[in-house]
Structure 1
Amino acid sequence: MITKNTKIVVLMGGPSTEAEVSRNTGSAIAEALSSIGYSVIPMEYDPHHVVEKLKEAGAEVVFIALHGKYGEDGTIQSVLELARIPYTGSGVTSSAITMDKIMSSHLFKQAGMPMAHSKAYYLKDGKEAVMEDICRNFDFPVVLKPACEGSTIGIEIVKRKEDLPDALTRVFKVEPRILAEDYLDGGEFTVSVFDGKALPVIQICPHSGQYDYHSKYTKGATDYIVPAPISDELAKEMSEIAETGYRICECKGAVRFDFKTNKEGKPFVLEANSIPGMTSTSLVPKAAAAAGISFPELCEKILMEAGLDKV
């Protein structure tokens, strides 16, 4: 049982390209839990010595505040399972699936969740062959995504055929596995799911018109409207889709599902985020606040679900 005397390590940072975002998340979580009386130890993630450092700190529970590779992809979850240290969020398999855009798209489509037409491509097949296949199977603009990056890192929106070679070079530098996807030109939304239940839908309105890394992490660059100014029917549809994704991936804790609509207003799932940003102004806390849950209370609720032997 977790009490105010339990030694809680908030694990953040590490080698991921999203390390700085993770440190912001971890610092906010540590501050929130400390403010309501928990014994919290913030810790930088050192993959080579993580178990040793956790044991030195006397960690009884790990609150995972990591983003991206080695933190959100099941890697640290497997280490903590082996070390038998309870941790927050989803388990090894669930984390690996939701992090991987290629694998999660297969699973979501199989479950009947609406997703844009997409196809996986691999650098080993040769850039020329990939380029030819994309031109055969997609209209422009087309979206290219690294399979296992977050925070929109490496995403390319290719508006013209002649821009495809350079875009492919850039995205393949990020990762040798990518997903090509139809471009959706409607609104952008996100649905946070906690403990299997959807929180209020948020509409995302970037001033630039594109929700990229700059729009996500530059103060004032994007407006977030919660509850989203949409019909009850659309809100219910997206909420049910997100809850389905949470259930079929056997997620735990707070997971965020991102959506975009087409010009007819039909919603499509973009991806799932098993460890979403958790500063007091991040999307999950905004949705929780709209449901009457304060940021410290949300962190405490996630903490209370820490455990082992997860899927």
Structure 2
Amino acid sequence: MTSDTATPGAPAASAPPVVVIYGGTSAEREVSLASGAAILAALKRSGVEAVGYDPYDHGLVGLERLAPSTVFIALHGRGGEDGSLQGALELLGIPYTGSGVLASALGMDKERTKQIWQALDLPTPESIMLNGAADWQAVADRLGLPLIVKPVHEGSTLGISIVASVAELEAAYHEAARFDARVMAERFIQGDEYTVSILGDRALPAIRVEVPGGFYDYEAKYLSDTTQYHLPCGLDDAGEAELAGLCQKAFAAIGGAGWGRVDVMRDARGRFWLIEVNTVPGMTDHSLVPQAAAHTGMDFDRLVLEILATAGHVRQDAEA
């Protein structure tokens, strides 16, 4: 927590504050705390009456006591990004940033996101659901090696493994199962990794991510200083437009709104493959959405205000 974190039960300000909700209990708690602190500082610099709130101790009851005008959601992972918080805020009648209940739940579920993309003929790598009694050789025969094993409901690449042999598959499954009861194996796409941030109705410039170790894992995302982010991404105008259009379709397919990020791989033949969607992306000093916004001339404080301006659109759309 920061010194700006509000205490439930304290006297409310004369005007209802914007509450930045961050921290929580998911495996992404530390990243969420960093994102929330950065957002809160930006709001204060912009003159917005804002307080931070970590639901770890007092849950939704403490949030309701703060009587927020709007909630800026910076809770990553389960409990904040999976539709549960969004549903509670809908019931409380409090506007919030980002996607609504359904889109948040779908975005957190990699399996069902892929099913929707496949139904719409959007390219995404083939995958198989795993369990402890899986036929590991059959999995490898179907998806090929190497392949990816990942938790279905987790972010920040937690629990993900690149598996190079059948002998490694069972251990990779159990590693992923530490984070989630549902685990999937996915065909590995060899090539460049891109990410496209969505802000309102537009796609921000794509970023090509290059990791010396070859795997954009938790350390590469948040801790390493050797990860390279290429902006411009190196695609020609036609390729950039194709990628932006694909990511906007992928985001819209799950009902995404407000802001988000779509991660994509590009194979050796130049074909793009959708990997996953993030409905509450990171906002730390290593995060990708602020980098993409900065490339358009939008500083961090302006980005935060633009995201805040999307709050309430979900309920308004539902009533229209």
Give, in angstroms, the shift of residue 252 of structure 1. 1.6
- Quote the residue 1:60 is aligned against: 69
Identity %, equivalent residues: 36
TM-score (norm 2): 0.90
Whether the aligned pair in 2 keeps the contact of 1:196 and 1:246 (CA below 8 Å) is: no
Structure 1: distance between partners of 2:178 and 2:286 = 32
- Quote the residue 2:21 is aligned against: 11
Q: How does 1:105-254 map to 2 (within 5 A)?
A: 105-121=114-130, 123=131, 127-254=132-259
Whether the aligned pair in 2 keeps the contact of 1:51 and 1:83 (CA below 8 Å) is: no
- Quote the residue 1:75 is aligned against: 84
Structure 2: distance between partners of 1:10 and 1:22 = 11
User: What letter matches 1:35 in structure 2?
Assistant: R
Aligned-partner SS, 2:34:
helix
Aligned-partner SS, 2:18:
strand
User: What letter matches 2:40 in structure 1?
Assistant: A
- Quote the residue 2:309 is aligned against: 304
User: What letter matches 2:174 in structure 1?
Assistant: T
Pairing 1:285–2:285 present:
no
Pairing 1:84–2:93 present:
yes
Determine which of 97, 109, 122 is the counterpart of 2:106.
97
Whether the aligned pair in 1 keeps the contact of 2:97 and 2:311 (CA below 8 Å) is: yes
Gaps of 5+ in 2: 1-13
- Quote the residue 2:52 is aligned against: 42
Structure 1: distance between partners of 2:15 and 2:292 = 29
Structure 1: distance between partners of 2:181 and 2:53 = 31
Give, in angstroms, the shift of residue 98 of structure 1. 0.9
Structure 2: distance between partners of 1:212 and 1:279 = 16
Give, in angstroms, the shift of residue 180 of structure 1. 1.2
Q: Deviations over 1:55-109 (max 9, x none)?
A: 3223111100010111110010011111111111000001000111000000111
- Quote the residue 2:36 is aligned against: 26
Give, in angstroms, the shift of residue 282 of structure 1. 1.4
Q: Number of matched residues?
A: 303
Give, in angstroms, the shift of residue 281 of structure 1. 4.2
User: What letter matches 1:98 in structure 2?
Assistant: G
User: What letter matches 1:283 in structure 2?
Assistant: L
Whether the aligned pair in 1 keeps the contact of 2:28 and 2:77 (CA below 8 Å) is: yes
